[in-house]
Chain A
């Protein structure tokens, strides 16, 4: 019973059953259920990874694709799927108040949908999981209970709903043109989409799924929401959920729209995201807002990386995305107690040395200080851009470099404030043990990646090669010749 579909089914089952366990006598069981299911999900995915030899397909309901829904299992899918339960376990909402059951239910729903996004090989199925992730995150974001939180969550809901409609329109356009929704089948028919309608459909998908991925024009909800929501939720949305939305766009880009124009669209939006995000972060006077804007800038770099053609782009994108996942989640956890104005942090680093040390570590990695993984992520992006060498790519290089300089300015400003002399007897801001422990795990992951760069490289490069190999994807999914010609 280690079928990979259980990685979606188990969290869903847990979410449905949790409300049954809210009676005081059963509550201990309910409090245990979520973390246990997440650990189980992680084990199932890890087990499937170790057993994986070549990419394979799971035909749900035994209906062979493209008629039925298919999960496509390769190492990239498993890597992102595995990141979901592990990160969520570290960011699990531990508070035990009267709304805890609902919050935990929503978190499990979010996990199920994000794992589904990583594994799914069907465009409409991805849309369903994306919607589930969106609705669950509205709830989690509004769950902070403050009126600012409600306003931010409502704004997010409106933008996200608009994005969903646009994405659905794009999917409808694709279905109307080709008559299928399976990604492999679409990939084999991608000639029919190499026209203005097809590009419009792609642009709609990018705008729609881009809402969660904090893509440039549709990210207005980000700073308010992250500032108002609980920091664990912000970390979950900025660190984890955005990456899975990126993954959807990347899959569609690689398989169905592998054209110069589509890559350029992502590249341009990425550049604009880097510039606008970093400049706004420089202006921010509040730590959470600064992190939120910086997250927009970082996701711009992710899009720039994935816009690089071929294997190099996939590898660079995965590295930048995972690095951002670890670093931004950890920084948001630290911002739980340091969330207010930057100026109020004077001397906070002297009072809690460990937290300040962790902040410095993550800030340095975000900047790309060698030998931390952030250096390698930026190195991969920049070398990829330099190799491509078109004017647009050179512009992207300049944007990434300028972005790094601005990042340095605002992150070091915070570091300097942390270590400056406290000017008054401000109350000590003690970090909760749970937050520090989770941040510590993220720090270990970061240092581990820095130490094992060399052993990590071959599997990563393999992952990129497999993910960029469209022919193999089509071959694997549509192996049955009967299916190809219904």
Chain B
């Protein structure tokens, strides 16, 4: 009883506080100091058609590496907690489900790769595309209980993709530039091969997110045959 009263009081106070703060804010004309500056500088400095990508992989590349690591940490921690193998009732699924999943697989693969590769031109990119790729590999598993993806292959892809992201950053360091400086020629704004090393970074992000999510999903589905 006391506990719920305290909870209600706390939540009420918090809501009131947030409302007061929101009310005192000057909506409509936020100062876009950095935002405006990046908007004018980015096309020339980074050469990505998609401004968001210029920020995500260029101006704030280190944050993206951090996000990537957070996802990796979450997957690893999940593995640590769920690490032991479960056995699960293996019930054969029907023809329609299996065929549907098979049909979806190439489609999802193409869409996922498209989103990853066009990340520097259109909305999307490594994170979103990676999730679609993970779904592409996870869907056939849902349709065929008992089968499982190759765990060690997944972790190899995952590790190498993460290492590639850092490797590109360190390569810039070896060239005398700062860590994670975009490399190569920026090319023509809006073309597929443009904005230097950014598409490579997004490819690494896509592969890492995809493999990580696929193995995490499998582990949650209790399909973890390899215990380590």
A→B interface (CB under 8 Å): 1, 3, 5-6, 8-9, 12-13, 15-20, 22-23, 58-63, 66-69, 98-99, 101-103, 105-106, 109, 112-113, 116, 124-125, 128-129, 131-132, 135-136, 138-140, 142-143, 150, 169, 173, 176-182, 185, 196-197, 200, 486
Contact = CB atoms under 8 A, between A and B. Distances in A.
Contact of A486 (B34, B83, B152, B163): B34
Interface stretch (B59-67, B97-105, B116-124): B59-67
A98 B227 CA distance: 8
B-side binding surface: helix, strand, loop or mixed? helix
B155 A135 contact: no
Which 7 residue pairs spanning A and B have beta carbons closest together?
A139-B77, A486-B37, A16-B162, A179-B33, A179-B31, A128-B66, A5-B179
B174 A1 contact: yes
B206 to A, nearest CB: 15
A19 B36 CA distance: 42
Contacts of A103: 80
A98 B224 CA distance: 14
B220 interface: no
A92 B187 CA distance: 47
A211 B133 CA distance: 36
B163 A13 contact: yes
B41 A109 contact: no
Interface string B63-76: 10111011011101
Nearest to B27: A176
B30 A179 contact: yes
7 contacts: A9-B169, A60-B61, A60-B178, A105-B72, A109-B69, A139-B77, A173-B21
Interface residues of B, number: 60
B115 to A, nearest CB: 23
Contacts of A20: 155-156, 159-160
B73 A106 contact: yes
Contacts of A6: 170, 173, 179
A-side binding surface: helix, strand, loop or mixed? helix
B17 interface: yes
A176 B127 CA distance: 26
Interface of B: 17-18, 21, 24-25, 30-38, 40-41, 45, 58-63, 65-67, 69-70, 72-74, 76-81, 83, 152, 155-156, 158-160, 162-163, 166-167, 169-170, 173-174, 177-182, 227-228
A178 B31 contact: yes
Nearest to B37: A486
A214 B34 CA distance: 33
Contacts of A58: 178-179
A61 B25 contact: no
Contacts of B45: 63
Which of A1, A20, A66, A196 counts the most chain B CB atoms within 10 A?
A20
A141 B147 CA distance: 32
A136 B178 contact: no
B70 A132 contact: yes
A179 B32 CA distance: 5
A142 B76 contact: no
B94 to A, nearest CB: 36
A61 B59 contact: yes
Given A61-B178, A69-B63, A128-B63, A19 B58 contact: no
Contact of B70 (A1, A128, A169): A128
Contact of B181 (A61, A66, A196): A61
B177 A62 contact: yes
Given A63-B59, A143-B80, A197-B24, 10 more contacts: A1-B173, A5-B173, A5-B179, A12-B162, A23-B152, A69-B63, A128-B63, A139-B81, A169-B18, A179-B34
B34 A180 contact: yes
A125 B182 contact: no
A428 to B, nearest CB: 32
Nearest to B160: A20
A136 B158 contact: no
A180 B173 CA distance: 27
Contacts of B25: 173, 176-177, 197
Contacts of A128: 62-63, 66-67, 70
A270 B40 CA distance: 45
A125 B159 contact: no
B83 A102 contact: yes
Contacts of A181: 34
A79 to B, nearest CB: 22
A380 B177 CA distance: 43
A109 B72 contact: yes
B166 A12 contact: yes
Contacts of A1: 173-174
